[in-house]
Chain A
Amino acid sequence: MPPAHVLVVEDDARLRGLVREALEATGHRVTAVGTGGDALLCALDGDFDLVLLDLNLPDVDGIEIARRLHADGDVPIVMLTARGDVASRVEGLYAGAADYVTKPFDLQELLARVHVRLRERSAGDGLLEHAGLRLRVDVRMLAAGDAQVTLPEREAELLRLLLSHPGRVFSREDLEARLYGDDLPDSNTVEVFVYHLRRRIRALGVPDPIRTVRGKGYTVL
């Protein structure tokens, strides 16, 4: 994996030091700050590949920081939380968090999660390839063999999510939150998008890799 630039936002100095050392030991460049204000300042001129963000900061609410970071660009955010309650998780999802790690955490577990997100990021920028499908994210171009089609915005985003996490199950609520944020659409919109996506993929002449997991959501295999 190419070395990445990670922003660590954590108010506990010892924890901040530990995470910084561990990330640096695996070859990444780390900027570590202790307050939300510093985090926002860094984000202004820093070019980060990932943000590790403590939800419970002394000055600014972590959710608010996630929202602003997310609005500025699509840097993946991994949230650190000590309370792990459902409400803040859902809120964080709306605010653009990619993942959650609950304190106390196993350092190895945290590093593994960070690496997964970084891998997704390096793939998510340009070309996604899976099961004979190629998705060029920037121009929303889906191709298989010689055939290709341009996808509508939301369908492209839906397929990008599914293709960049093969095997991961996205629930309808998850997909809605990621596609729409707070502005929730009609209840069956996701089904409709999936239906259209499947038709487009089959029209390209390849088997459709999208699977419906009974009562759970969608995944690609």
Chain B
Amino acid sequence: MSSEAGGRTSGAPVATPAVAPTWTRSRRLRTRLGLIVLGALLLAVAGTVVLVDQLFGRAQHESLVDLLERDLHRVQALVAAGTLGESFVEQGAGGVRLQFVSHAGTVLLAADAADPIPLARAPARSNAGERAELVGSAAWLLPSGLAIGTIRMALDVTEADADRATLRLSLLFAGSLLALVAGALAWGLVSGALRPLADLARQAAAVDPARPSLARYRGPDDEVAELARALNVALEAIAERQQAERDALAEVAHELAAPLTVVAGELRQLANARPDDPRVRGAQEAADELLHTSQDLLTLARGELDRAPDLSVVDLAEVARGVTGAYPGVAFAADGADARVFAQPDRLRQVARNLVRNAVQAAGAERVRVSVEGGPEVRLRVDDDGPGMAPEALERVFDRYVSGRSGGVGVGLTVARRIVASFDGRVEARSEPGRGATFEVVLPGWSSQVEAELDEA
């Protein structure tokens, strides 16, 4: 069982399972909107094709019927006037057939008597094989006014039909193309319109509860903008609340700082003057503990770890040896390899002190070992033979105000982890119930942090 801590986040980790569904849902929304738009477009195109085709067909039919009736009446009038000769009938005209039929139904006069034109009271279509015709008839009147049969006329409409088919095809083609282009455009627009939403969701998911930053919104002033504003109002309230807590703590700290410093300082002087008095020494140790715990709490409360540390090259072995010296009974060992790191000396001491104090409180000084390993990665290990921790406790041991063991406020390890993270390092914790615990600080060695210098000629 091991738990690793590093990075900048503090407090509760970002809940990863909550992120995935949000994202898929936003994707589904985009697909759904795209499909709706595409469907509407296809429907519009199909409707247009059918409607235009029907309207065109009807208009075409009417104009052809008109033509036929006019021609029929002209022929009827010419025949009745006796001015139309047989040659006209036999010769025919382009696409128009004319037949004179007796009442008995005998074709009396026609260019193509073998192909009779059916009788139609009103103009109607007649389809025979490949040929499509519009047929009509009028009374065959002699100049005397006597009706002796019917004049039948057939208008070839094959070409008109072909025209209509061409129109239908063109419409279908142009419409599909248009639908495709418009569909792509709509897809782009929908995606674009949803991007601020997806962006907002990502930002909301990434908000660090310890340091909430406002969501940025770029886009039109619409419902999504409203959502962004609402989100920011909530985030601002959280930030204000946290600032208020920090301010209050800073105020308390200000009140406590001077007396605490005086008590710890005077007791230290007193202990130096009377090294053999165990009561003075006890009081001094207690005061130091109070001082250091307050420093941990205030370091967090003041947000001091939010600013960059003042780095120097520091020998971690030297720091660890110094800190261990204040806890008689704790064993110390260093492997002698280069253990220099870039760190802020007082904070590095704070880290070592917190880890050692934590172990001493858990197991007693006699059962704590501190060791330092140098090299490209410098390691400070604090082992104890104490009661150890269950995996659940170990996972939460770096959380603020959670004490993994009996005693202690539970900020020491939080502070240690954050300080180490500010030096680009990490703290690892390993433990099993009944088998003690190991806390290990891992920092990059100083040489790995320095850029190779290019020697210029």
Contacts and interface: CB of A to CB of B under 8 A. Distances in A.
Interface stretch (B50-58, B300-308, B398-406): B300-308
Contacts of A219: 312-313
Contacts, number: 110
Contacts of A130: none
A213 interface: yes
Give the one of B269, B298, B303, B311 with max A CB within 10 A. Answer: B311
27 contacts: A15-B258, A15-B261, A18-B262, A18-B269, A19-B265, A22-B269, A82-B250, A83-B250, A83-B253, A83-B254, A85-B303, A86-B307, A89-B307, A103-B261, A104-B257, A106-B288, A107-B264, A167-B313, A168-B312, A169-B312, A169-B313, A211-B450, A212-B451, A213-B342, A214-B450, A216-B342, A221-B450
Given A102-B295, A102-B304, 10 more contacts: A18-B266, A22-B265, A82-B250, A82-B253, A83-B250, A84-B304, A86-B306, A169-B312, A169-B313, A202-B456
B281 interface: no
The 5 closest A-B pairs by CB, nearest first: A103-B257, A167-B313, A169-B311, A107-B265, A104-B260
Interface in B315-368: 342, 346
Interface of B: 250, 253-254, 256-262, 264-266, 268-269, 288, 291-292, 294-295, 298, 302-304, 306-308, 310-314, 342, 346, 449-451, 453, 455-456
Nearest to B265: A107
A180 interface: no
- Which of A82, A104, A214 has most chain B Cβ within 10 Å? A104
A219 B450 CA distance: 9
A208 B280 CA distance: 52
Interface string A197-219: 00100100000100111101101
- At the interface, is chain B mostly helix, strand, loop or mixed? helix
Interface residues on A, range: 35 or more
A171 interface: yes
A205 to B, nearest CB: 13
A84 B304 CA distance: 7
Given A86-B307, A89-B307, A105-B261, A214 B449 contact: yes
Interface of A: 12, 14-15, 18-19, 21-22, 25, 56, 82-86, 89, 102-109, 165, 167-169, 171, 199, 202, 208, 211-214, 216-217, 219, 221
Contacts of A165: 312
Given A85-B302, A103-B261, A213 B269 contact: no
B302 A84 contact: yes
A199 B457 CA distance: 10
Select the residue from B258, B308, B450 with max chain A CB neighbours within 10 A: B258
Contacts of B260: 104
Contacts of B269: 18, 21-22, 25, 107
A145 B202 CA distance: 61
A54 B310 CA distance: 20
A108 to B, nearest CB: 7
A109 B323 CA distance: 13
A208 B311 contact: no
